[in-house]
Structure 1
């Protein structure tokens, strides 16, 4: 059933696009290259066990936890818009 100007699969297309964006964003944050021996943020040594467990690691555990908290506060994009904008 058609829903006005939107196609029949518009909602699913929007969901798929949001998921694709999230996957691309997550993949872009994966570490690449050789692991560092010292944290690039605080210059503390990164333990060898961490360097082996997380290839390409660049931050110590403390700095990584802070970076993860900062990342979690990012809300991303609102693809739906407000009700007011939909009524205009």
Structure 2
């Protein structure tokens, strides 16, 4: 059964807002005024008295953030695609409906909670107990 129109509209807005925020983050990281090196390059963080390892560490962190934003944009675009094609809200693992609260909490989610827990257990990627 397809998701309700109200849920569709709310999720579409959340995904669009998240997409714009991620794109804005990517732009601020990669846009550089004038002839400055983009902030992602190692030399962008090397001041006159800075050591190269510190600059490299900062550049590595910038690359990590850029990779994260790129992956996030991919997830958002995939969710928008499922929303437009009518496959949104269906667990990719078992085919069951994903509860509305889960979709609203994490609009890019692809699986129901039991399948997500099983996948994390199999891959060893679960966060484990939380406080």
Find the aligned partners of 1:9 and 1:41 in 2 and give their Cα distance.
49
**TM-score, with normalisation over the residues of structure 1?**
0.51
Question: How far is the alpha carbon of 1:71 from its aligned partner?
Answer: 8.0
Among candidates 42, 50, 64, match of residue 102 of structure 2 = 50
Over aligned residues, Cα RMSD in angstroms?
3.2
Find the aligned partners of 2:108 and 2:52 in 1 and give their Cα distance.
39
Instruction: Provide structure 2 residue ranges, at least 5 long, that are not aligned to the other structure.
Output: 1-49, 126-131
**Number of residues of Structure 1 aligned to a counterpart in Structure 2:** 66
Among candidates 46, 68, 72, match of residue 26 of structure 1 = 68
Structure-2 change in CA distance of 1:18 and 1:64 (3 Å): farther
Question: How far is the alpha carbon of 1:69 from its aligned partner?
Answer: 7.5
Question: How far is the alpha carbon of 1:47 from its aligned partner?
Answer: 0.4
Among candidates 88, 92, 103, match of residue 40 of structure 1 = 92
